[in-house]
Structure 1
């Protein structure tokens, strides 16, 4: 089997050696070179044609974000960002994913993480995933498409009116993982300016990064996007992102919806978990649920889709293989046999709007 050629980029000689040492013993990975900064990484990408690049976010001469932009413009290759968990580091990581990075790994203890071995398995897993991902579906995609053309079969107005009499409210719930921040940007910025329903989002991401994601999406969307807070009352036209490290569930009290966060055990390694959110929404009465599963590794969301469908009044939408960076989660949802629409990412907002009239 051909080995995955990796270029490791970090301004610290210690980090370059530590990361290279973590990867060198894996039978499917070969570290072909290292780079001291973004400018050097650009030149080595052009000269060596690696299969995957790791980029430190914060570097002198040229930082990882600027290097990423230039790599994507000149010699596109799957990139994994290595980031500190500071506010600046997490925001730049979100911007990096927006600009084409496949995924990121958070350094355990700042810029020079001598305990980087703690994320060895995660780093290896994401490099392997990046090498096999549908990376080229990112290239040339406009992440802020508006007024996208309708694709697919519409319900008739009569059908919609007849169906609407069966519930008192609609909610939109979205689950995603690898490639999710960019997919969420495409989807949320394509929804109506005056959104009439709440949106609940689970993105597999650590603490601090979900806050930066919410702040970034809030700056781009025409409706509020916020990191969810335990006990807050749900407001129509607002999108709520589950905080990293907490499961997010939705409860109904006296006819109103409220956010509930907990630190129960991870589900399939995830906290927040899409299954938990979907399962909680399945208990809501007289509520139309529009469940969307976007790009991501694994099968989170499939069990939740089943529970939602058992509760009735649920429309399930999965992102297509053509536009998913990783087709794991959408495919798992499709394999349940309960998905109503399989759509390219750019068409999902229009499908959602069919059910929220």
Structure 2
């Protein structure tokens, strides 16, 4: 089995050495070179042809974001960003996900992290995962985003039809992981402002980054998008993203739905967990549910989907392999034979609208 060839990009000689040393210890990884800034990285990519690039964000001459944009235009490669946990660092990380980075790892203590060993296993795992990522999915998203931005939003003319008073209310629940921020942008920007359901979301992401993700999405969407707060009432036409490091549980209270943040142990290594969210939604007897599982590693959401289907009144949508950056979570859901619609990313919003009662004019 050939090794994964990695280019390490960081302006700090110390960081380049630390990252190179611990990556080189792994039997599946070979560091074939290092670069001190984005310009240097672009030149090294041409000559060394790495399989994966690790990219610092803050660098002189050409920073990581500028280099990432150029890489995805000229030589599309899986890129894993190393980012700081400051507010600006979180915002830049979300931008990097939009530009096409497969994943990111937060540095434990700023740009020069003497304790980088704390996230050694995370970096190794994400490099291995990135080496298998579906870059076709990213390129297809770029194409569909370009088409959408040159026109009016594809679903901007969709209206929500009024439902009979005795018709059940609806809730949309979405689970996603690696590749998810960009997938969420593609889906949420196509939903009409007055969609007749609250939208509850688990995106696997560390604490401190989900707020920046929600703020960016809110600036782009017709619907409102926010990081959910404990005991917040959930309203139609609003998308609520679970904060990093907290499970998102939906509870019924009279005629309202209330968000509950829970700090019980991670489920399958995740907090927030898609399974926890879906299981809580399955207990809402007066609601029809639309469950969506998109790109991500592993099987989070599959157990929750089974519970949703056992309780009835659930339509399930999974992202197809063609567009999923990582097909693990959708594949696991599809294997249950409980998924109603298997669609490429650009068709997920339309499927959601179909089940929430929206119709084209």
* TM category, shorter: over 0.9
* Cα contact 1:148–1:346 (8 A) shared by 2: no
Summarize deviations over 1:281-338 as a string: whole Å, max 9, x none. Answer: 0110120100000000000000000010111100011100111000000011111111
Report what 2:177 is aligned to.
177
SS of the aligned residue for 1:295 comes to coil
TM-score for both structures, normalised by structure 2: 0.93
User: How far, CA to CA, are the matches of 1:167 and 1:105 in structure 2?
Assistant: 45
Q: Is contact 2:136–2:323 with CA below 8 Å preserved after alignment?
A: no
Which segments of 5 or more consecutive residues in structure 1 lack a partner in the other structure? 150-156
Q: How does 1:21-36 map to 2 (within 5 A)?
A: 21-36=21-36
Aligned-partner Cα distance in 2 for 1:148–1:210 = 26
| 1:141 pairs with 2:143 | yes
Q: Aligned equivalents of 1:285 and 1:14: distance in 2?
A: 57
Q: Distance between the aligned counterparts of 2:343 and 2:79, measured in 1? A: 26
SS of 2:356 mapped into structure 1: coil
- What CA distance in whole angstroms lies between the structure 1 residues aligned with 2:86 and 2:53? 22
- Report if aligned partners of 1:143, 1:182 keep a CA contact under 8 Å in 2: no
Aligned CA distance change for structure 1 residues 143 and 201 (closer, same or farther; 3 Å) = farther
Q: CA deviation at 1:143?
A: 3.6
Q: Deviations over 1:53-93 (max 9, x none)?
A: 00001112111001100111111111000000011111111
Shift, 1:167, TM fit: 4.5
Q: Is the 8 A contact 2:57 2:63 kept in 1?
A: yes
Per the alignment, residue 88 of structure 1 pairs with 88
What CA distance in whole angstroms lies between the structure 2 residues aligned with 1:32 and 1:212? 34
Write out aligned runs for 1:228-239 (5 A): 228-239=228-239
Q: What is the Cα deviation at residue 25 of structure 1?
A: 1.2
CA distance, structure 2, for counterparts of residue 104 and residue 322 of structure 1: 23
Once the 2 structures are TM-superposed, how far is the Cα of residue 194 of structure 1 from its aligned partner?
2.2
Q: Where does 1:1-357 land on structure 2 (aligned, <5 Å)?
A: 1-139=1-139, 140-143=142-145, 145=148, 146-147=153-154, 167-357=167-357
Q: Which residue of 2 aligns with 1:153?
A: none
User: Deviation at 1:226?
Assistant: 0.2
C-alpha distance after superposition, 1:211-243 (max 9, x if no partner)? 110011001001110000000111111000000
Provide runs of 4+ in structure 1 moved above 6 Å. none
Distance 2:57 2:89 in 1: 7
User: Structure 2 CA distance, aligned partners of 1:109 and 1:285?
Assistant: 46
In 1, Cα distance between equivalents of 2:178 and 2:269: 14
Retained in 1: the 8 A contact 2:155–2:192? no
Shift of 1:353: 0.9
Q: Is the 8 A contact 2:210 2:241 kept in 1?
A: yes
CA RMSD of aligned residues (A): 1.7
> Distance between the aligned counterparts of 2:290 and 2:74, measured in 1?
39
| Aligned counterparts of 2:230 and 2:195: Cα–Cα separation in 1 | 23
Q: Give the Cα separation in 1 of the matches to 2:335 and 2:73.
A: 36
Q: Indicate the SS of the match to 1:355.
A: helix
Displacement of 1:340 = 0.7
Aligned counterparts of 2:155 and 2:57: Cα–Cα separation in 1: 33
Structure 2: how far apart are the matches of 1:124 and 1:174? 28
SS at match of 1:234: coil
For the residue of structure 1 that corresponds to 2:352, the secondary structure is helix
Q: How many residues align?
A: 346
Rounded to whole Å, the distance in 1 between the matches of 2:191 and 2:302 is 24
CA drift at 1:202 = 0.2
TM-score, scaled to structure 1: 0.94
